[in-house]
Structure 1
Amino acid sequence: MNASATVTGMIDIGSNTVRLAVYQVSSEGAYRVIDQGRWSARLSQKLAEDGTLPDATLAELAEVLRHYGSICNMHGAKQIRAVATAAIRQAANRDVALQRLKRETGLSVELLSGKDEARYGSVAMLRTMDFSDAFLVDIGGGSTEISLILGRKVAASVSFPIGCVNTAARWSLNGNPVPPALLEKIEAAARKLFEGEPWISSHPGLPLIGLGGTVRALAKFRQRSDNYPLSNLHGFEIEPRLLDESVGMLAALNVEKRRKVPGLSKDRTDVIVPGLAILRAVLKSAAASRIVVCGAGIRDGLFFETCLPREKTPSPQDVLNESVRNLTTLYPAAPREHLAQVNRLALDLFDRLAPAAGLGEPSRKWLDAASRLFRIGAVIDYNECANHTFYLLLNAHWYGLSHRETLITAAIASYRGPSQLRRKLAPYRTILKDGDVEASARLGVLLQLAAALDRSESQGIVDLDVAVEKGKSLVLTARARHPLPMEKMEVESIAKDFKKCWGLSPKLKAR
């Protein structure tokens, strides 16, 4: 990241948790999180009987905000934006609280309405996921926001004054086991609220995209319980039956026993059950098909609107393209002209060969992304470029693909032969479908061929004619600016591997 990068801090004062994210944006618009903080505030739980936030709570909150401000200043932040949600919104002394926080911290805290919360959550999801139609739910400590996304636009949204913390208090759960009858009452009360918004039940079968700590805690728990081979939460999918299983298991335990459950966040053990009860109520009211976790949240929505605003919501393909551009700008391991040439050649080869191989549009999308990212691992070490590429693409934050698609794209980008491919993918077989390994090999060697055609990194090939002769040879006739000795040698070196995958022997001719 160059010296002209700007740094911005985003603070979300939630009803359950106060979070900080520090973002760095380069002069080219590439961004990344460079620091973050998390404090379990439980503000909804600390409201006094008269509905005010006590002095001690405000003093503690001010100290946390000063600490977060110091972190931002340490990184040279030019701007710090702090927002508050349901707990302060619902506090009887909210105006006094906001004035005190400004006086003691120097931060002007913006009070978000429920609609604002829903909007920022929607922005975060639409900038980081490719769903066109979906329900969106954000379960906080003191409120729950539900939005309906149709055609990648917010068709409706609403905020309800129920969250995991105030629901636990209302039903006096106190960390005890929650009997099935009480769970039913909690869910029934939530669903009764939802009935006031008929649109929630008007689009059955859509996915339910979940933001916020409750859904992330559920995802971490499920990943640990099911030995899921990836740790990335963004895009993780949960079937309704697994939500039912999780609610039943955790509700039967008291807080002390929940704290010993592998994968369950320790600071959510007393509020996870009411949070999941609300989630299940939303799932049932919307008749959603599945839950998909969105790792982005209000802080990310604030960041996008503040630092990287857009006039229009990005299309699903835009989400992926912008994410690939962000990665290649953050990790410039190869000349852009070379990556663009390899990308063009790879897609030309695909368009000529894919129909006969039964490879469709998803395969083209994976190859498109992989051909722009296949050298990214060289930013760590050129000699182990393939292994580093695979690791980076599985662990870096980039968007627009499902977990399965990310894994396939990483395999294509890092392809170095069928044996290595099978070893790399072996730990992740539960994520893959039948035929994915074979498709990854075909696309991987196709990418290798495209890279071979620009081995000199000179973009010598102006135009490429691709022809299959006698069902045995792949004749590549290039109109070139100069002779292609390096390219011919590289094509010959991978010809045997290419024939194993495609049944064709590639030959390069220049004209």
Structure 2
Amino acid sequence: MTIKTERKAIIDIGSNTIRLVVYSYNSSQGLVEHHNFKTVARLSMYIMKNGNLSADGINVLIDTLTKFKEILLDIHVKDVFVAATAAIRQARNQTEILELVKNDVGFNLQILSEEQEAYFGYFAVIHSTNISNAVTIDMGGGSTEVTYFKDKKIIHFHSFSFGAVSLKGKFIKGTTITHEEKLELIEYVSEQFHSLGWLNQLHVPIVTIGGSARNLALVDQQRKSFPLNGIHQYELKNEDLQEISFMFAQYSLDGLKKIDGLSSDRSDIIVPALETFRTFMEVVDAPLMVYSKKGLREGIIFSQLAERFPEDFNKNEVTKKSIRHILGKFHVNEEEVSHLYDIFQKIYLSFVHWKYIDPIENDEFLFYAYQLYHIGKHIDQDAVSQHTFYLITNLSIDGISNEERLKFALLASYQNRDTFKRYVNSLPSYLNEREFKQLRDIGALFKFTKGLDILSRSTINDVLLENLASEITITFVVSNNYMLEKYQAEKLKKHVGKICSKDVLVEFKISEEKAT
């Protein structure tokens, strides 16, 4: 039975932006984002010396929430969760703010504690990646939350009372940061991070959350002409951040606004964010930085859904769930696309044993790629390979790195050797010669096995293989009529023969149980 929820809105009142996102949840298709609206409010800049949010800041907040409420009324969404983070949390007149929001707009505003804000970010990460051990850093406009988790269990958390906007106000006097100001900023955030003993030299990846991190990932993709769409789980190394830092230093504020991938409304705060991430990586001694598109808002809604549907939110089955949701979007039965996988595996393992194919260590990886094989047929049967390759290289698959997603796409879209080579040549050299042959030949076995499954109810029960001097014999054990399977096997066996440079003889026999 498919579980569905009505549309739900999350309003996230941050120190830099206020955002309205409307979601719905379907156990078959996952979390679906319907609308996403953003206003750059910079509320942290309206905090006065006495600690109050100024009248102008309150007006910006009320005006924005009023507009969002009008949108919600127009699209008929009644379930609204309104959350505020550092700017309102740090305001001394927060009681007044809560009352004004309630009386003037009709929203019950919830101010998230530092622990809640950190926890929701962590919760989103462990349910949308397969990273077991890491440090998260969620840098907003007025605060920065960090957590350390091990085996996906949170160990430590902390909230720093600085963010990209407040760092700009504290260290940057002009329109762009000077060299001296940058050094002062780095020294300050370094001292802050080093003050947490548990953070030092953890030697784990850092997972970044938030708009500044998203912009840095987009900038890196643009400068590298990255071939895959989607930035969730995009990886950057320390040298990438260093090169971006050097690039930013060459531009004025107007120049930064024109950089591909960088939002113009973040151009004045991106350098403080970048230098904070660089410093954070050094303190942690992180091998890489991974961007998570899923953050505070997703953490809030995931945690609410997990209470209602705990079976749908197993943190150790992230990729399995993501594949299920992709299949669900195309209304594909999960059992149908898994049919004959055991037959494929027996053929594959035989070819591995005979040294014709290098094995892929991750069995789950192969199974998920098999499930997605020719998913593009649900768009257009005549261009199934092209649609499949496009879909997978443009879809985010939780728990799958970009390199793995590229391999997914090559396996699942396999049509023949020429199309495989064309896809590989259209991409940067991600594959070495061994990987090229490995994926090409496994793709050929995908095509052969899937081709036998014409009606998703093949009568093939088992397969026996024999490797002779000049040929390979593949004997399928069937329980019923095998006319269609035999026709397909004869037509597709050439793909198998090319792997081993031998003739392939295909035979069928009725199982002994059926015969008796």
Q: Which amino acid aligns with 1:33?
A: E
User: Cα deviations across residues 154-209 of structure 1 (Å, max 9, x unaligned)?
Assistant: 11111111110001001134422321x322221111121122211101422x1111
Q: 2:468 aligns with which of 437, 450, 470?
A: 470
User: Cα deviations across residues 440-478 of structure 1 (Å, max 9, x unaligned)?
Assistant: 2112111112212322322322x2133232155444433
Contact persistence 2:478–2:508 (CA under 8 A): no
Cα distance in 2 between the residues matched to 1:472 and 1:16: 70
* Residue of structure 2 equivalent to 1:270: 268
Contact persistence 1:475–1:509 (CA under 8 A): no
1:377 and 2:386 correspond: no
User: Cα deviations across residues 91-144 of structure 1 (Å, max 9, x unaligned)?
Assistant: 121121122122222222211112111111111111111111111111111111
- Pair 1:495–1:459, CA change in 2 (3 A): closer
Aligned pair count reads 505
* Residue of structure 2 equivalent to 1:418: 417
Cα distance in 1 between the residues matched to 2:427 and 2:262: 23
- Pair 1:443–1:34, CA change in 2 (3 A): farther
CA drift at 1:87: 0.9
User: Cα deviations across residues 206-235 of structure 1 (Å, max 9, x unaligned)?
Assistant: 111111111111111111122222231112
* Residue of structure 1 equivalent to 2:513: none
1:24 and 2:30 correspond: no
* Residue of structure 2 equivalent to 1:358: 358
Contact persistence 1:7–1:76 (CA under 8 A): no
CA drift at 1:434: 4.1
1:408 and 2:411 correspond: no
Cα distance in 2 between the residues matched to 1:75 and 1:485: 54
Contact persistence 1:378–1:384 (CA under 8 A): yes
Q: Which amino acid aligns with 1:150?
A: K
Cα distance in 2 between the residues matched to 1:264 and 1:314: 35
Q: What secondary structure does 2:228 align onto?
A: coil
In structure 2, list runs of 5 or more residues that go unmatched: 511-516
Q: How does 1:130-279 map to 2 (within 5 A)?
A: 130-179=130-179, 181-204=180-203, 206-279=204-277
Mean Cα deviation higher: 291-300 or 239-248 = 239-248
* Residue of structure 1 equivalent to 2:443: 444
Q: Which amino acid aligns with 1:215?
A: A
Contact persistence 2:29–2:324 (CA under 8 A): no
* Residue of structure 2 equivalent to 1:107: 107
Mean Cα deviation higher: 288-297 or 100-109 = 100-109
CA drift at 1:57: 2.5
CA drift at 1:62: 2.6
Cα distance in 1 between the residues matched to 2:456 and 2:240: 50
Cα distance in 2 between the residues matched to 1:173 and 1:214: 20
Structure 1 runs (4+) deviating above 6 angstroms are none
Alignment RMSD (CA, Å): 2.4
* Residue of structure 2 equivalent to 1:36: 36
CA drift at 1:13: 1.2
How does the TM-score come out when normalised to structure 2? 0.91
Cα distance in 1 between the residues matched to 2:208 and 2:172: 26
Q: 2:488 aligns with which of 487, 490, 494?
A: 490
Q: Which amino acid aligns with 1:329?
A: G
Q: What secondary structure does 1:6 align onto?
A: coil
User: Cα deviations across residues 309-352 of structure 1 (Å, max 9, x unaligned)?
Assistant: 43797455x111000011111211x4444212143433343333
Contact persistence 1:454–1:460 (CA under 8 A): no
Cα distance in 2 between the residues matched to 1:467 and 1:111: 65
Q: What secondary structure does 2:420 align onto?
A: helix
Contact persistence 1:126–1:313 (CA under 8 A): no
Cα distance in 1 between the residues matched to 2:31 and 2:312: 19
How does the TM-score come out when normalised to structure 1? 0.92
Contact persistence 1:219–1:236 (CA under 8 A): yes
Q: Which amino acid aligns with 1:238?
A: L
Q: Which amino acid aligns with 1:85?
A: T
Q: How does 1:425-436 map to 2 (within 5 A)?
A: 425-436=424-435
Contact persistence 1:9–1:81 (CA under 8 A): yes
Contact persistence 2:11–2:19 (CA under 8 A): yes
- Pair 1:487–1:74, CA change in 2 (3 A): farther
